[in-house]
Amino acid sequence: MSDSEISLTLTVPEDIGKKRLDSTLAELLPEYSRTTIQSWIENRQVTVNGKVVKRKYLLTGNETLSVQFLPHEPLSIDPEPIDLDVQWFDEQLIVINKPAGLIVHPGAGNHQGTMMNGLLHHFPDLAYLPRAGIVHRLDKDTTGLLVVARTEKARQSLALQLAERTMKRIYQAVCEGVLIAGMTIDRPIARHPVDRLRMTISHQGKSAVSHVRINRKFRSHTLIEVALETGRTHQIRVHLNSVGHPLVGDTRYGCRTILPQAADEELIQYLREFQRQALHAGELSLIHPATREIQSWQVDPPEDFQKLVDLLSTDTRNRNSA
């Protein structure tokens, strides 16, 4: 291996079942394309327990994967002086509280004004990391905590924690209807076969597990906490909709907003005008890549989310005392 090459060592999760090498690496290293991963395998840059194998080689769990490749080319994305709510940073990590309306990274039709553009302005060295060190994301209108790696070592560590499901992420949400009890939703998720902007429950999809706990019940809604075991696109939104309790304000997966009977006009109007999914990533816990100690962060929901909860709480108290 040359001095400029990067070497990764990964352990295959033991509950993987039987899965192809290229598919497994794509899950363990989601920041790299399937084409890139397949080229590594074809070029003998990947070994399984020290042996070179084909990309269709079936893994069963606990194998040691070694990958060698050249560093990422600098990103060709323009830095922009976008204000970012940096909650914490050191030489390895950056933790950001993302507001509603901010897209995490550029995509079709969104080449500027993203969190990635802002990160590259405030932390220029991120240009030399895949996806500027971003290892997970939040939807445009979801608020809350995101962690970004500042070094390749940190990026590898965070990606592995996500793959091994040891990074803890807890969300607060307000859903339509009154949940009877907490639940674990274990339903695989895939891209919708017709509407490519939506995800859907599908037996052909990727494993997705969400643990739902009731925080507070209102007359027609529920404040919940959701702990993610996996991190699929739109996971919480799809899972809650699949059990008949879509998130308040979720126009993509929800339906007509439930209005509590005889509620005051302020609450009715606020529910009608709440134009984003009521979802906030409030807690994040991970193993620091350098110190190996567990670090945790918490951030309160933004004003619009808190006002929604306050109005629902007032409505419930008033009706119960009537």
Quick: pLDDT tens for 58-92.
999 999 999 988 766 667 789 999 999 999 999 99
What's the pLDDT band for 138 if we cut at 50, 70, 90? very high
What's the pLDDT band for 253 if we cut at 50, 70, 90? very high
163 CB neighbour count, 10 Å cutoff: 20
Its pTM stands at: 0.80
Which of these CATH numbers, 3.40.50.2300, 3.30.2350.10, 3.40.50.300, 3.10.200.10, describes 74-150? 3.30.2350.10
CA distance 95 to 148: 6
pLDDT of the residue at 179: 97
pLDDT of the residue at 75: 74
CA 158 from chain centre, in angstroms, equals 12
Do residues 253 and 237 lie in contact, with contact meaning Cβ atoms separated by under 8 Å? yes
| CA nearest neighbour of 156 among 29, 25, 5, 12 | 29
Question: DSSP 3-state assignment of 106?
Answer: coil
The Cα-based distances of 255 to 39, 214, 251, 252, 281 in angstroms read 44, 21, 7, 8, 23
For residue 2, is pLDDT > 60?
A: no
Which is it for the CA torsion 6, 56, 27, 121, positive or negative?
positive
Domain chopping of the chain, boundaries: 6-69, 74-150, 165-321
Q: Looking at the annotation, which residues are catalytic?
A: 139
DSSP code for 264: -
243 CB neighbour count, 10 Å cutoff: 15
| Span 30-47, average pLDDT | 85
Do residues 305 and 280 lie in contact, with contact meaning Cβ atoms separated by under 8 Å? yes
For residue 248, is pLDDT > 50?
A: yes
Q: End-to-end alpha-carbon separation of the chain, Å?
A: 75
For residue 36, is pLDDT > 50?
A: yes
Which of these CATH numbers, 3.40.462.10, 3.30.2350.10, 3.40.309.10, 3.40.50.150, describes 165-321? 3.30.2350.10
For residue 108, is pLDDT > 80?
A: no
Do residues 227 and 282 lie in contact, with contact meaning Cβ atoms separated by under 8 Å? no
